[in-house]
Amino acid sequence: MAAVCRMLRLAAARYPCRPGVFRQFSAGPSFQYILVERKGQSQNVGFIQLNRPKALNALCDGLMTEINRALDSFEADPQIGAIVITGSEKAFAAGADIKEMQNRTFQECYGGSFLAHWNRVSTVRKPVIAAVNGYALGGGCELAMMCDIIYAGEKAQFGQPEILLGTIPGAGGTQRLTRAVGKSLAMEMVLTGDRINAQEAKEAGLVSRVYPVDKVVDEAITCGEKIAQNSKLIVSMAKEAVNGAFELSLSEGNRLEKRLFHSTFATDDRKEGMTAFVEKRKTNFNDH
């Protein structure tokens, strides 16, 4: 009995958010601003839907805290191989909550590191796919850009309109947008507040695919399932290597890639992948 108690204590310490994982998939609403489910035939895609329709999914502090909680749960869940974040057909997210920000002072923002926790999406080790319909503006566009892959519905609109509110993007908009679409278009969007549509976003490299409005979420889940079939361990390494391209010089990035590539040879899954190819059979990865 003592041994069982010890095991339970160890498990609780190792996976502190496991009870939350269970609750979020049960019928009880443990989230106020988002819907959280598992999707895909093997239930291996984590699904987060922003759910503040009256405010066009404006990103209030509570909503971002809930997204972070859901991400923590999916990150800790060994069954989940990819995560999809979406909004509604009208709005992915219309930006940070302007009503919540309206009366904030510089001292509160700076002193309290206002919205510092917004970064969590970009630190998840599992791949995150944004399925964007409707408005992705300000913080909404930044949220999409923190994801690894962006799929857009035909009527999606992307923009950084903060300049029209007398402020500037504050969650990576000036940095990630510029890297994605280049200086001229990023400057135009950030300085005028003008939006681009889905097709323009695709041509500029901000999104990888455009689908009919009612197909984009399913396509994002299908992409998540495809990723989740691969070794989760190796997928994380591949994601880390690609992200190195945004942080490092070419030689440092190539060195990181080579080290990660070498590291795959320490895994069961690399051996399994190559053996399965040679034996002309399907792979059976175990994420080790």
Residues that bind ligand CO8 (CB under 6 A): 55-56, 58, 94-99, 114-115, 118, 135, 137-139, 161-162, 165, 169-171
Beta strand pairing call for 209-211 and 157-159: unpaired
Sign of CA dihedral 261, 265, 270, 274: positive
Whichever of 165 and 187 has its CB closer to ligand CO8, that residue is 165
CB of 130 to ligand CO8, least distance (A): 15
The residues, ordered by sequence, that sit 6+ positions from 177 with a Cβ below 8 Å of its Cβ are: 141, 145, 160, 169, 186, 189, 190, 206
When the beta carbons of 17 and 163 are compared against ligand CO8, the nearer one is 163
Active-site choice (82, 96, 130, 152):
96
Give me the amino acid identity at 164.
L
Identify which of residues 67 and 80 has a Cβ nearer to ligand CO8 in the complex.
Answer: 67
The one catalytic residue in 139, 140, 172, 224 is 139
CB 239 within 8 A of CB 148: yes
Under 8 Å between Cβ of 237 and 259: no
Alpha helices in the chain (DSSP H): 2-14, 18-25, 61-76, 98-101, 106-111, 120-123, 139-146, 173-181, 183-192, 198-204, 216-228, 232-247, 250-264, 268-278
Shortest CB 160 distance to ligand CO8, Å? 8
DSSP line for 158-187: EE-GGGGGT----SSHHHHHHHHH-HHHHH
Are 39 and 224 in contact by the 8 Å Cβ rule? The answer is: yes
Token look-up 């269970």 returns 22
Closer CB to ligand CO8, residue 97 or residue 148?
97
| Closest distance of CB 251 from ligand CO8, Å | 32
Please identify which of the residues 142, 219, 225, 257 carries the catalytic annotation: 142
CB of 2 to ligand CO8, least distance (A): 48
Query: What values do phi and psi take at 77, rounded to 5?
Result: -90, 110
Between 66 and 225, name the residue whose CB sits nearer to ligand CO8.
Answer: 66
* Active-site annotation holds for 162: yes
For this structure, is 96 an active site residue? yes
Distance in Å, CB of 55 to ligand CO8, minimum: 4
Within 10 Å of residue 179's Cβ, how many Cβ atoms?
14
List active site positions: 96, 139, 142, 162
